[in-house]
């Protein structure tokens, strides 16, 4: 959980435990393999590529904290945005949001902003808002199962698009 929050107790802890039970470590690993599978878009470099390269290539199962740690700074999500929408490369490179700050206060703000920009990307991509997640669900790890669900739904949606460069047939087709 986010280090500045008190541990949950009582009903809040029970509710959080129920949400964590919905987390599927195999599907989460599949999401990470999908992100890692993409070839780096032309011209993309820097922290987003480094974040994607930190994802293990052949991960088969991953615990909830490790999954969230790989994505919670938002950089790997930026990499995914650039892979799915090549026009995003210049936007990522030209924005300070996608540069890592050496000042913790600025970096914390940027991490949350990156996740927010990814959520905006999901909406522009056509993802139903009910299939998305909220910034805190990833950043503070309060709803990581919903993050996994949203990313797998994005994969299903993306592979139906013309020009999709990801692995064909990786996700089940939607009906």
Mean pLDDT per 10-residue segment, the chain (175 residues): 64 66 91 97 95 96 96 98 94 93 94 97 94 95 95 95 90 69
* Dist. CA 27–CA 38, nearest whole Å: 17
Helices (H), the chain: 10-21, 25-37, 47-53, 64-71, 75-84, 88-94, 104-125, 135-139, 144-158
Domain boundaries 10-158, CATH class: mainly alpha
pTM of the entire predicted model:
0.89
What's the pLDDT score for residue 10?
76
């Amino acid at each position: 959980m986010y280090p500045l929050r008190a541990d949950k107790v009582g009903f809040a802890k029970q509710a959080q435990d129920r949400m964590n039970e919905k987390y599927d470590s195999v599907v989460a690993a599949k999401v990470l393999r999908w992100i890692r599978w993409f070839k780096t878009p032309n011209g993309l470099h820097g922290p987003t590529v480094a974040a994607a390269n930190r994802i293990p290539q052949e991960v088969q199962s991953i615990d909830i904290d490790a999954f969230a740690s790989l994505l919670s700074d938002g950089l790997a999500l930026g990499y995914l945005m650039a892979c799915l929408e090549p026009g995003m490369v210049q936007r990522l490179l030209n924005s300070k949001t996608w540069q890592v700050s050496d000042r913790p206060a600025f970096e914390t703000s940027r991490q949350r902003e990156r996740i927010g920009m990814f959520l905006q990307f999901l909406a522009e991509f056509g993802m139903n808002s009910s299939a998305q997640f909220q910034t805190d669900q990833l950043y503070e790890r309060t709803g990581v199962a919903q993050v996994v669900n949203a990313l797998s739904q994005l994969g299903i949606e993306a592979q139906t698009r013309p020009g999709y460069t990801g692995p064909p047939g990786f996700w089940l087709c939607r009906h």
